[in-house]
A and B are shown apart, each in its own frame.
Chain A
């Protein structure tokens, strides 16, 4: 078992942070890599990016949004309990180098995935501007950490309850207009990444995105995570999860994410009913 040593509810309980005892993975993991977790015997294998690692303490941190049955099950795990299976580190690490001015754009729980990359980019000597967004103030996560990890931080909320009102792309446009940006990293919901890429393409700024297709094994064995990048089929779990955003077919990814929509709904509803009946 992989024990949970710390647990925090964020964004009004819609986002959960777990620190998990996994020394071998902690020792090896690099920014951009993910793990696959399975709560118990009957559970599904769920990929989540490592938001942080502590090789000395032997722990990894995951931050996830509760969106369905498996993440709801994860949310029910308390400190001292744990995950039956944790596999990793998987995927390629982010290529970190000093390029100059960099913009990191994060939306929703994508901010959690973006945080270690941002920190590494800054440590490598880049001038990092961060734009993070959420639907509303209460759903914003990791503001302090992102502030510490970047040189300049902008916050946007869709409903204007905090920071600049509107989508992150509006702030991004202003930053791009200032010029001199060498690299953009955009991580968040698929539609957000799509629009970020559309915009940076107009300005010819290379853009990295981290893709989240449905996965099973995470080792390149099943092909379920395939995405089309530059007209070629790539397996996000081994060739990614990061890709050149200007080459990604986001519409296909968006469609494929709905593969099990009906099943997921059914499974989640049954789990919620079960949890209610236990209360």
Chain B
């Protein structure tokens, strides 16, 4: 082992080929093209095959990273995907959207001296390879148990539960409020970052295994949880996400052209407003667009605005660059594409014309003070430093809350003071018998992989219940 690593470290991280920034900033095609097999093999050979792999500790679902990477290095891509599937049902998604720099890659030992092994890119590579070639054997289904499970919400956590429980022999039905499955993966994250075809192909895979999908069904409205039990469901999983937009309470907040990122992205992604008028749903095409916030949602909004033809797309964020919660790659891509950042800036007021359309905003310059409850330094206003920004579209991406539609119409479900469902962190069990919950509706807006991890834990606990009891 002593000399081998030295040699490996000489191979640099294989760059991800991607669309030129100027070109892609005006189209909705996916930004990276994906690694070629040769590059993937070379990249995989950079892994030191650590005995105690730190990378695995960084992965919330403990993908056996060295094992799958070894298969890639040997050109055994199908073995690699089968290995990942054992713990991660959506690798094509995770490879693209996990905040790898904070998780697996952030812990990779190779990263201590140089660039870490591109675990995310490799995961994406093997998943895409499998989707294009379909060589891996489907996992085997256990004999039917005769038990019925309802999964509410078809985001990553709901899909994970459905996938796990169908294999364990239960009958699974997913209920989705929207007309298309996928949750945030479909209505929130844009096509240029996660092609919808990938999500639909995963859902199709579940349907082939026997999962029933019912769209257009708002649980809590079309049907209640108690009615589902009456219909014969033995257990219910709630993966309804954190679908409540946070709006701002400053003067002018309801002017035309001020909207939540949820609305903006849903119009563009789910309703395909970027193809208007071929698709019927319109979207406001801003010339000077301001997005408020600094997370993935803000990056996605600001980059969508460019693609919809904005002359300028600015991100106004109240803390500094160091605190940006978005994935590193997204910030980097946004900057390359021409998104401008205004750090330490907070909106004071929106101004409108006589038709009630937004034409500008007043911005307060901030500075960082003492750390707050979240451990981050609290932004405080710098007195007198106020400036104007011209804008005709403002997208608010400052967070999401718990949507009360389902939870308030359900008796016996304990909620915390912010309205999120209280669930056992290890099993996902809620206070209501036969009901589990996980993902953003329990943790608040988090990540795809955490939502999937919660789904996995709940699925195990639900299986125990269905075979042994509560």
Contact = CB atoms under 8 A, between A and B. Distances in A.
Contacts of B280: 42-44, 69-70, 73, 267
A55 B277 CA distance: 37
Contacts of A233: 247, 253-254
Interface residues of B, number: 39
A256 interface: yes
Given A255-B355, A260-B282, A267-B277, A85 B256 contact: no
Given A222-B260, A233-B247, A264-B282, A258 B222 contact: no
A216 B257 CA distance: 15
A87 interface: yes
B271 A85 contact: no
A223 B266 contact: no
Interface in B216-234: 216-218, 221-223
Interface string A61-77: 00000000110010000
Contacts, number: 116
B256 to A, nearest CB: 5
A163 interface: no
Main secondary structure of the interface of B (DSSP, over half): loop
B400 to A, nearest CB: 9
Contacts of A264: 282
B356 interface: yes
A84 B180 CA distance: 11
A136 interface: no
Nearest to B243: A221
A89 interface: yes
B278 interface: yes
A226 B282 contact: no
Interface in B266-291: 266-267, 271-272, 276-282, 284
A252 interface: yes
B404 interface: yes
B190 to A, nearest CB: 16
Nearest to B281: A44
Interface string A24-44: 110010000000001000111
A216 B266 contact: yes
Interface of A: 24-25, 28, 38, 42-45, 69-70, 73, 84-90, 216-217, 219-224, 226, 228, 233, 238, 252, 255-256, 258-260, 263-264, 266-267, 270
14 contacts: A42-B278, A42-B279, A84-B179, A219-B403, A220-B243, A220-B244, A221-B245, A222-B260, A222-B262, A222-B263, A252-B254, A258-B355, A267-B280, A267-B282
